[in-house]
Amino acid sequence: MLQTVSEWLWWERLWLPANVSWSDLEDSDGRVYAKASQLYTALPCALGLLLVRYLFERFLATPLANVWGVRNSVRLTAEPSPILENYFCSQARAPSQADVRSLCKKTSWPERRVQVWFKRRRNQDRPGLRKRFCEARCVWRCVFYFFAFVCGVLALYDKPWLYNMKEVWAGFPKQSMLPSQYWYYLLETGFYLSLLLSLTFDVKRKDFKEQVIHHIATLTLLSFSWISNYIRIGTLVMAVHDSADILLEGAKVFNYAKWHQTAKVMFVVFTFLFMLTRLVIFPFWLIHCTWVYPVEKFAPFFGYYFFNVMLLVLQILHLYWAVLISRMVCKVIFKMYAHTNVSTSSLGLIFILQLEGDDRSDEEENDSDSPEERYHKLSHTNSSGARDRANGH
């Protein structure tokens, strides 16, 4: 049984074009090819990155938070109430107005007291500002994406397929593996595997399901491209993705540190670069390269279709996140005109705050303000420039 499954799994027609066998990809004459067994090294690499992340957060990110004055705000805990706690845990974190009235009757509390209880209870489950600053969604990811992008540039800058996409398929699949490609793949595969593992203990975000799909799709693409020797196009895909992610995480770092002017500039550049790389370069250069050029060299096979379908899954996720960013931009522009006290200098900061609210539910709520009042006060405070310390101002 297991022998049959193994034979079917490693059937050459699933992974390789016609007239090509695994024996053709055996190391010989100084030429080294990628092997499926090398993927096992991604697990110790992922565990190693988790350890590095822990040490980074404890000995670098935390002292940096102290230097920049990133501190948690004082929180008031929700008073004990078994009825409200049961509703909060089993039904909804934010009750409807009708449910609030029903809970008022059950608890004999006034409506305002019930609303304040739910705000405080939600705040208890939200991570503090220091945790958001130090954890993998911020400083650690910013540093890693920068390092990974530099590695990608070093691995690609002198390669002909960076400048001529048809060179990606020259001699395929008998393309020997370069040391730079091996280490770049190992680094990226280990990182995304570590992200998947860390979802179990990281702060849960609103797009948790999309993140799981993204990490699994990315790991599937990396593994398949490695086994099928799609390494050249794989390195291009990784470099394109890392380029914009640096700026997003960097903008959040500077926003938490109250360097609002720097955060604004980085987010504006990120938005442009995200749209360029995810909605232009990725579909019209990279997917075009994997969809059109290979059939000029060999007949389509299962791996050809599978790889392109997985790229399309990533593209759908790109469109989803692009819609979120576009909706956020529209909201900010609308509120900029609705509230004349929102100055141009604070616009970038509001972009960051809106993004934080869209992609994760960790923004603390004030007991006395409605969401609209809270936003208005936040905009007014930031437009004054009193807290803007970017670049020494």
Q: Examine residue 49 and state whether it is found in any structural domain, yes or no.
A: no
CA distances from 256 to 131, 143, 229, 288, 388 (A): 11, 16, 42, 39, 11
Helices (H), the chain: 2-9, 12-15, 42-56, 62-67, 82-90, 97-107, 111-125, 129-134, 141-156, 179-198, 208-227, 231-256, 260-276, 288-291, 302-338, 344-359, 371-383
Q: Examine residue 390 and state whether it is found in any structural domain, yes or no.
A: no
Q: Examine residue 306 and state whether it is found in any structural domain, yes or no.
A: yes
pLDDT confidence band for 332 (50 / 70 / 90): low
Same domain, 149 and 241: yes
Rounded mean pLDDT of 185-203?
A: 88
Q: Examine residue 3 and state whether it is found in any structural domain, yes or no.
A: no
Same domain, 124 and 195: no
Answer whether residue 372 shows pLDDT above 80. Answer: no
Answer whether residue 142 shows pLDDT above 80. Answer: yes
Identify the domain boundary among 74, 106, 128. Answer: 128
Q: Examine residue 354 and state whether it is found in any structural domain, yes or no.
A: yes
Q: What is the pLDDT of residues 276-297, one digit of tens each?
A: 999 999 999 999 999 999 999 8
Q: Examine residue 389 and state whether it is found in any structural domain, yes or no.
A: no
Q: Name the least confident of 38-42, 121-125, 263-267.
A: 121-125
Q: Examine residue 142 and state whether it is found in any structural domain, yes or no.
A: yes
Task: Let me know if 27 is exposed, middle or buried by CB neighbors in 10 A (0-12, 13-18, 19+).
Answer: exposed
Same domain, 91 and 211: no
C-alpha span between 97 and 82 (Å, rounded): 20
284 vs 333, residue with greater confidence: 284
Identify whether the C-beta of residue 211 lies closer than 8 Å to the C-beta of residue 199. yes
Same domain, 93 and 223: no
Which are the contacts of 207, defined by CB distance < 8 A and separation ≥ 6? 359, 360
Same domain, 124 and 147: no
CA distances from 126 to 23, 140, 151 (A): 55, 20, 35
Identify the domain boundary among 64, 95, 128. Answer: 128
| Per-chain mean pLDDT for the chain | 81
Answer whether residue 353 shows pLDDT above 70. Answer: no
Which are the contacts of 156, defined by CB distance < 8 A and separation ≥ 6? 162, 235, 236, 239
Identify the domain boundary among 128, 156, 186. Answer: 128
The upper half-sphere exposure of residue 345, i.e. CA atoms within 13 Å in the direction of its Cβ, equals: 15
Which are the contacts of 91, defined by CB distance < 8 A and separation ≥ 6? 99
379 vs 331, residue with greater confidence: 331
pLDDT confidence band for 198 (50 / 70 / 90): confident
C-alpha span between 177 and 95 (Å, rounded): 57
Which token pair is 147?
């390092």
Rounded mean pLDDT of 77-95?
A: 87
Same domain, 297 and 326: yes
pTM of the model: 0.75
Residue 170 has phi, psi (to 5 degrees) of -65, 120
Identify whether the C-beta of residue 379 lies closer than 8 Å to the C-beta of residue 346. yes
Which token pair is 53?
């992340």
Same domain, 272 and 296: yes
Same domain, 222 and 344: yes
- Predicted confidence at residue 180, as pLDDT, reads 94
Same domain, 229 and 260: yes
Which are the contacts of 150, defined by CB distance < 8 A and separation ≥ 6? none
- Predicted confidence at residue 2, as pLDDT, reads 67
Identify whether the C-beta of residue 33 lies closer than 8 Å to the C-beta of residue 27. yes
Q: Name the least confident of 261-265, 355-359, 365-369.
A: 355-359
Residue 31, beta-bridge partner list: 28
Question: Cβ of 110: how many Cβ atoms within 10 Å?
Answer: 10
Would you give the end-to-end CA distance of the chain in angstroms?
70
Helix (H, G, I), strand (E, B) or coil at 28: strand
- Predicted confidence at residue 233, as pLDDT, reads 95
Residue 28, beta-bridge partner list: 31
C-alpha span between 103 and 122 (Å, rounded): 17
pLDDT confidence band for 374 (50 / 70 / 90): very low
Which are the contacts of 23, defined by CB distance < 8 A and separation ≥ 6? none
CATH classification of the domain holding 114: 1.10.10.60
Identify whether the C-beta of residue 307 lies closer than 8 Å to the C-beta of residue 314. no
Q: How many domains does the chain have?
A: 2
Rounded mean pLDDT of 19-35?
A: 86
Same domain, 103 and 141: no
pLDDT confidence band for 121 (50 / 70 / 90): confident
Angle ∠(329,335,336) on CA atoms, nearest 5: 85
Identify whether the C-beta of residue 148 lies closer than 8 Å to the C-beta of residue 242. yes
Q: What is the pLDDT of residues 124-136, one digit of tens each?
A: 777 666 776 766 4
Answer whether residue 340 shows pLDDT above 70. Answer: no
pLDDT confidence band for 14 (50 / 70 / 90): confident
- Predicted confidence at residue 206, as pLDDT, reads 66
Same domain, 93 and 152: no
What is the domain range of residue 121? 82-128
Q: What is the DSSP letter of 31?
A: B
Answer whether residue 330 shows pLDDT above 50. Answer: yes
Answer whether residue 381 shows pLDDT above 50. Answer: no
Q: Examine residue 362 and state whether it is found in any structural domain, yes or no.
A: yes
Rounded mean pLDDT of 268-272?
A: 89
Same domain, 103 and 164: no
